[in-house]
Amino acid sequence: MKVSMLTTHQAWAEKECYTGKELLKFRCKKTIAVIGDYVPPDSPCIRTVQQSDMACICGIITPREEIRHIIEPPLSPPPSM
């Protein structure tokens, strides 16, 4: 039973991490863009970072995804957390 609970919790945490990553990319897209001048984070971006598990999010962003996000930002908002 302990193994089952741990696995379920880990799966839930992983899902939250991916949702948080997409939300962060959407709300902070102007700040994290490498092209153009630096844009300071606005209030929604700051709140998202404060409420996110940044260690988890940073751990799942791949180099390829970083390049893709810079070139092709998301077209629609991710689901709310």
pLDDT the model gives residue 62: 79
Q: What is the pLDDT of residue 55?
A: 92
Best CA proximity match to 77, nearest among 13, 25, 17, 16: 25
Q: What is the pLDDT of residue 19?
A: 92
Q: What is the pLDDT of residues 1-60, one digit of tens each?
A: 454 444 444 454 566 799 999 999 899 988 887 777 889 999 999 999 999 999 999 888
- In the chain, what is the straight-line distance between the N-terminal and C-terminal CA atoms, in Å? 28
